[in-house]
């Protein structure tokens, strides 16, 4: 998936990310940083019986995100891909501008593995039923 990501994100240059332990699965752009991280924890709202609403981040192809506030940032975490991917967008930026190119990269690299549609005929195919 990392190969699909844009080098610059709508005018924001990439930046170095320091993590402990070091990992190639975190990338960032701009200052303050917009941070994309692969392999994060399952969103708390992603459970059977959840009434959470998941937002569509791409043009019909997803991914779908669980959105949570973290201080002055919104954290978008994929719910319908094999790996959970989070994108942290500080309030200084418009998510509507920054999220689409990242969503496109995720959708190209990671196909959907479950459905967010409550009308899915087989409830075991719902993302909230993922193990």
Does the pTM surpass 0.85? The reply is yes
Q: Could you tell me which CATH class the domain 2-115+122-129 is placed in? A: alpha beta
SS3 118: coil
pLDDT digits (tens, 9 = 90+) for 56-105: 887 777 899 999 999 999 999 999 999 999 999 999 998 889 999 999 99
Of 98, 97, 11, nearest in space to 87 by CA: 98
Residue 117, token pair as written in the block: 């549609």
Annotated domain spans of the chain: 2-115+122-129
The string of DSSP letters for 49-64 reads T-----EE-SSSS--E
């Amino acid at each position: 998936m990392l190969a699909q990501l844009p080098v610059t994100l709508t005018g924001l240059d990439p930046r170095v990310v320091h993590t402990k332990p070091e990992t190639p699965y975190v990338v960032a752009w701009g200052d303050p940083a917009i941070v994309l991280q692969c392999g994060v924890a399952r969103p708390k709202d992603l459970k059977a019986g959840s009434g959470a609403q998941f937002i569509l981040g791409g043009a019909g192809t997803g991914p779908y995100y669980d959105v949570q506030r973290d201080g002055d940032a919104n954290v978008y975490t994929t719910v319908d891909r094999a790996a959970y991917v989070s994108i942290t967008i500080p309030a200084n930026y418009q998510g509507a501008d920054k999220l689409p190119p990242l969503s496109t990269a995720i959708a190209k690299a990671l196909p959907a593995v479950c459905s967010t549609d409550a009308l899915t005929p087989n409830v075991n195919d719902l993302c909230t039923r993922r193990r």
